[in-house]
Amino acid sequence: MPVRDLKARTGNEAMAEAMRQINPDVVAAYPITPATEIVQIFSGFCADGLVDTEFVAVESEHSAMSACIGASAAGARVMTGTSSQGLSLMAEMLYIAAGLRCPLVLAEVNRALSAPINIHCDHSDTMSVRDAGWIQIFSENAQEAYDNLIQAVRIAEHPDVLLPVMVTTDGFIISHGLEAVQLLPDAEVKSFVGRYQPKYSLLDTDHPITVGSLDFTDYYFEHRRQVAEAMDKARSVILELGEEFARRFGRSYGFFEGYRLDDAVIAIVVLGSTAGTARVAVDALRNQGIKAGLLKLRVFRPFPARELAAALSNLQAIAVMDRSDTLAGTGGPLFHEVRSALYDLGSRPRVVNQIYGLGGRDITVEDIQEVYMSLHRLAAEKESLPPVQYLGVRE
């Protein structure tokens, strides 16, 4: 087991250190709160000669992703970072990156979308591009953000995948919060990610290729289906690389993580940093004799519907916690995915949605305990609940 460097770091610092150890060929970026610090720190590594990266300071996030796509098409290993409106400004190019099968890696710090203007955490930015063809991996804390970013490089560049990956952290909660993070030795990270060997390159004039071709009715459908097939193949790649990471470094990762779920009667499903708060609530309720459990989803795209349904099938009632809203009047995006995954079960748990924490509003242990207690009453058929509730909002 490699010796680790353990000290207090913010999530942004942890992601920047992962980028330094990965040593990408090109990073093109534009600053935006609360993700600015990631590429700011990394630009310092470039200036100090600690990496061989070509750092491109551009005039917008749209330009940043455009430059990343061009560099990736030329055969470079490419990374960037952004947040919120920056991700929205990239949106046009995000679809193009996936469609062109560019294995980019993006450090995305979750922040609410305007309006009103807000710089704090929710998941509306990431969820707004959930169908752009990018693999999406959520992190509970800075350690996971560091580990996920390293694995993301291998996932994206796998020959069966060749899709871009975004690794997300919750803005300010993780990005600026200090916690103990264990860095792996530089040589071990270098060995794990390996050397990128692109299948094609625009600079290989002996083997010319076309990039960005015009597809009408003749081939567009086939090319879009190829992206869907690659996303499906990413499932096994994510699991295999998670197992390899565990063998080499002792930290295990899959599609999701269950907490006291095996014998649970009620549970919540959650993304990101709220999982830590939920564990405290679960332990407190267990001490009261209530069989509460937790499922923390790590991989949102590709969505692990079959595996999630198997993990939740024996429960009586579930609350899906969404830190974003579709504004469709039918609940949040995670709720839709989970409820759909459970649809074909012969006997389904009752599923409700709790939308919470928009714009960075705090979620407390007491808030989550009340969600569990409402599930407890629902499971006992002592209470009926509306399918969608807004937790902590002032009506």
pLDDT of 395? 85
Cα–Cα dist 226/161, whole Å: 10
Q: Each residue of 209-261: pLDDT tens digit? A: 999 989 999 999 999 999 999 999 999 999 999 999 999 999 999 999 999 99
Q: Which residue has the higher pLDDT, 5 or 239?
A: 239
CA angle 163, 168, 170 (to 5 degrees): 170
pLDDT(355) > 90: yes
Q: Is the pLDDT of residue 73 over 70?
A: yes
- Map tokens 């930015």 to a residue: 125
Query: Which domains does the chain show, CATH number per domain?
Result: 5-249 (3.40.50.970), 256-390 (3.40.50.920)
Burial of residue 201 (CB within 10 Å: 0-12, 13-18, 19+) is middle
In this predicted model, what pLDDT tens digit does every residue of 270-304 receive, in sequence order?
Answer: 999 999 999 999 999 999 999 999 999 999 999 99
pLDDT reported for residue 244: 98
Counting beta carbons within 10 angstroms of the beta carbon of residue 318, is it exposed (0 to 12), middle (13 to 18) or buried (19 or more)? Answer: buried
Mean pLDDT score, 309-319: 98
Q: What is the pTM assigned to this prediction?
A: 0.97
Q: Does the pLDDT value for residue 22 go beyond 80?
A: yes
Strand spans (E) along the chain: 5-9, 26-29, 54-57, 78-83, 105-110, 135-138, 165-170, 179-183, 256-259, 266-271, 292-297, 299-301, 317-322, 350-355, 388-390
Give me the mean pLDDT over the 161-184 stretch. Answer: 98
